[in-house]
Chain A
Amino acid sequence: DTGVSQNPRHKITKRGQNVTFRCDPISEHNRLYWYRQTLGQGPEFLTYFQNEAQLEKSRLLSDRFSAERPKGSFSTLEIQRTEQGDSAMYLCASSPTSGGESYEQYFGPGTRLTVT
């Protein structure tokens, strides 16, 4: 069973460093989403891709954040000049579409980022 995978699972970095996370969606899913979840909160939407096109970005996605999905398969999320407030779980999800609508999203295990 090839679900959504994310790497690394944990990342500890010093403030000011750049970090990059990878997400591999379920292979036949053309939509891919990034979320951020802080302690005690539900996930917050960051951005999503339809194939290789980035279609929507939340205002939570500051200029220090960039996401790519170059070939419409895996995606990367990069955070530049990390700040302590970036410490969170970063979740990736994918979904199929039918008739232009997406349905349930399947989530990966997440990458937990700690900025010291």
Chain B
Amino acid sequence: AQKITQTQPGMFVQEKEAVTLDCTYDTSDQSYGLFWYKQPSSGEMIFLIYQGSYDEQNATEGRYSLNFQKARKSANLVISASQLGDSAMYFCAMRGIGGLTFGKGTHLIIQP
């Protein structure tokens, strides 16, 4: 069985600071994929970034980067130069046999 653990229920960060959202995972699969999604208060899930288990480089997408440490089974999301619009729920997820397995999320609040 797969499991995603996000240990930060909520975080407050000053605008323009970098923020790291933690994610650890557990799986017995040799090949897997890890995702981060953002869910603003409006409710839609927005795809941010993907990391494959065999990718040698950490994934980056604009201000988002994924700090992938395979031996530690961690896939932390780093947001550089945070903006007020980054305030939202953030979910780490892993691709399973069918759908994605999600963590419980981190509620990020960016303060001016």
Residues B104 and A105 in contact, CB atoms below 8 Å apart: no
Kindly state the separation between the CA atoms of A41 and B93 in the bound complex, as whole angstroms.
Answer: 12
Q: Which of A80-116 contact B (CB under 8 A)?
A: 89, 91, 93, 102-110, 112
9 additional contacts (CB under 8 A) given A45-B101, A112-B43: A42-B4, A44-B102, A47-B98, A58-B98, A89-B43, A93-B99, A103-B50, A105-B100, A107-B46
Q: Which single residue of chain B is at the shortest CB-CB distance from A9?
A: B43
Are A104 and B45 in contact, with the CB atoms below 8 A? no
A76 and B102 alpha carbons, distance in the complex (Å): 23
Q: Which of A41, A43, A45, A104 contacts B98 (CB 8 A)?
A: A45
**Complex Cα distance A107/B100, Å?**
12
The answer to whether the Cβ of B91 comes within 8 Å of any Cβ in the partner chain is yes
Docked complex Cα distance between A107 and B47 (Å): 8
Q: B107 CB to closest chain A CB, in angstroms?
A: 9
Interface band, chain B: 20 to 34
Interchain CB contact (< 8 A) of A43 among B33, B46, B102: B102
B47 adjacent to A106 (CB under 8 Å)? yes
A48 within 8 A of B: yes
- CB neighbours (8 Å) of A112 from chain B are 43
The answer on a CB contact under 8 Å between B102 and A102 is no
Q: Is the CB of B45 within 8 A of A91?
A: yes
Chain A proximity of B85: nearest CB distance (Å): 18
Residue of B nearest to A112 (CB): B43
Interface centre among A58, A89, A105, A112, by most chain B C-beta atoms within 10 angstroms, is A105
List, in ascending order, chain B residues with CB within 8 A of A45's CB: 96, 98-101
Known A-B contacts A35-B99, A56-B97, A56-B98; the reply to A42 vs B47 at CB < 8 A is no
Contacts of A41-91 to chain B: CB distance below 8 A:
41-48, 55-56, 58, 89, 91
For window 1-51 of chain B, which residues contact chain A by CB distance below 8 Å? Answer: 4, 33, 35, 37, 42-47, 50
The 15 sampled A-B contact pairs (Cβ below 8 Å) are A33-B98, A35-B100, A42-B93, A42-B105, A45-B98, A48-B98, A48-B99, A58-B98, A89-B43, A104-B35, A104-B50, A105-B100, A107-B37, A109-B43, A110-B43
